[in-house]
Amino acid sequence: MTVATDRQTTPPSADHPSGDKRFKVLDATMKRNQFSQDALIEILHKAQEIFGYLEEDVLLYVARGLKLPLSRVFGVATFYHLFSLKPSGKHTCVVCLGTACYVKGAGDLLKMLDQEVHLKPGETTEDGQMSLVTARCIGACGIAPAVVYDGKVLGKQTEDSVLMAVQPWLGNS
């Protein structure tokens, strides 16, 4: 799962009307896929990696690039779980909710996060530091329950270990 979290602002460039250089990378991706309409999902993956999430501008840009109606692009972007139309936090904590993780207590981990950090799945803290996400199954069932912290998978998690891991992201509040 690639969740780009670092949304930096790039200096204006003369190459693109919006002045955002990231569109150039997106252009290159579309070109590499020969602007083929069936590569829409790959291109959205890349777009999300570059921009962190799929803002309306990006969807419009992709639609125009691939000569697709915006409704089609929007439909695909909202259909698949991995695409996010909202910005995510700086750090991401993904709790796996596969059956193996669930019977071994992943549900309790979520309850704890709700109580201690006041985050429900899909939410981001007010300061934009941390997002909580759930995954359907990350296929690491042998070490259930598994949690992914900023892309790093850790197995056999407990309420304490999760709290310890996310604490540094929460500042001192």
Partner 1 sequence: MDIKELREIASTTRQKQTKTRIRCCSAAGCLSSEGEAVKKNLETAIAEAGLGEKVEVCGVGCMKFCGRGPLVAVDDHDQLYEFVTPDQVGDIVKKLQESDAVAETGLISGDPHHPFYALQRNIALENSGNIDPESIDEYIALGGYEQMYKVIHEMTPGEVITEIDKSGLRGRGGGGYPTGLKWATVAKMPGQQKYVICNADEGDPGAFMDRSVLESDPHRILEGMAIAGYAVGANHGYIYVRAEYPLAIKRLQKAIQQARRYGLMGTQIFDSPIDFKVDIRVGAGAFVCGEETALIASVEGKRGNPRPRPPYPAQSGLWASPTLINNVETYANVVPIIREGGDWYASIGTEKSKGTKVFALTGKVENAGLIEVPMGTTVRQVVEEMGGGVPDGGKVKAVQTGGPSGGCIPGDKLDTPIEYDTLLALGTMMGSGGMIVMDESTNMVDVAQFYMDFCKSESCGKCIPCRAGTVQLYDLLTRFLEGEATQTDLAKLENLCYMVKETSLCGLGMSAPNPVISTLRYFRHEYEALLKV
Query: Under the rule (CB under 8 A), what is the footprint of partner 1?
Result: 1-2, 36-42, 44-45, 72, 75-76, 79-83, 97-100, 102-104, 135-144, 146, 152-156
- Tracing tokens 């990378």 back to the chain, one arrives at 25
Q: Which is nearer to partner 1, 106 or 166 (CB)?
A: 106
Element (H, E) at 57: helix 56-66
Q: Which is nearer to partner 1, 85 or 170 (CB)?
A: 85
Q: Which is nearer to partner 1, 2 or 9 (CB)?
A: 2
SS3 68: coil
Minimum CB separation of residue 12 from partner 1 in Å reads 32
CA quadruple 8, 110, 2, 25: dihedral, nearest 10? -30
Minimum CB separation of residue 91 from partner 1 in Å reads 18
Q: Starting at the edge strand that comes first in sequence, how are the strands of the sheet with 91-96 ordered? A: 130-135, 91-96, 147-149, 152-154
Minimum CB separation of residue 143 from partner 1 in Å reads 6
